[in-house]
Amino acid sequence: MRPLAVLVGLPGSGKSTVGRLMAGYLGVGFRDTDEDIVLGTGRSVAQLFSLEGERRFRELEKAAVRTALAGHAGVLALGGGAVVDPDTRRLLAGGPVVHVDAEVREVLGRRGGVAGRPLLAGDAAARLRELAAQRAPFYREVARVSVAGRGRDAAQVAQAALRSLSLRPVC
């Protein structure tokens, strides 16, 4: 069992929103690995970073991604940093991976775009630019398609992703 689509991208890029819409259009389930981690630990991502550190969070994330890739047949959104792990990138290779490509200013302008995201504490714009530069090669490596969010709402991004993967909505 493999997901129909896996979404990757920067924190706050809209992966979960787009993924939920895609799942709705396809009539399948949606899953978010960050939500899996929160449910499994009883702690928010911010609490995990604060109490256990980024390293522990990445271990939990790697396990959550592996489990979701093996056991979810719908649409899956990964945390923004999941692609940093080489084992995760190998698992994603050749899969139906969509890079939700959002510009830094887009993310910053979104309601809730950076709130509660531990890696964006402090100067969120500078941190997002840094993360974008570090992770862009990984997003390109794993993505079958990249869908730009510039000038599009989440529904338009979801529809473009579906078209790019040749997936047909049921509704």
Tell me phi and psi for residue 151, to 5 degrees. 75, 10
Report the pLDDT value the prediction gives residue 107, as an integer from 0 to 100: 73
pLDDT confidence bin for 149, thresholds 50/70/90: confident
**Residue 121 vs residues 1, 58, 169: alpha-carbon distances, Å:** 37, 18, 38
Residue 106: pLDDT above 90? no
* pLDDT tens per residue across span 67-83: 999 999 999 999 999 99
Residue 159: pLDDT above 70? yes
- Write down the pTM of the prediction: 0.90
* pLDDT tens per residue across span 79-104: 999 999 999 999 999 999 999 998 87
**Torsion sign (Cα): 19, 25, 26, 27:** positive
Query: Could you tell me the end-to-end alpha-carbon distance of the chain, in angstroms, rounded to an integer?
Result: 23
Q: Using CA atoms, how far apart are residues 67 and 36, in angstroms rounded to an integer? A: 10
Report the pLDDT value the prediction gives residue 151, as an integer from 0 to 100: 81
Report the pLDDT value the prediction gives residue 110, as an integer from 0 to 100: 58
pLDDT confidence bin for 109, thresholds 50/70/90: low
For residue 94 the two structure tokens come to: 């050749």
Average pLDDT over residues 158-168: 96
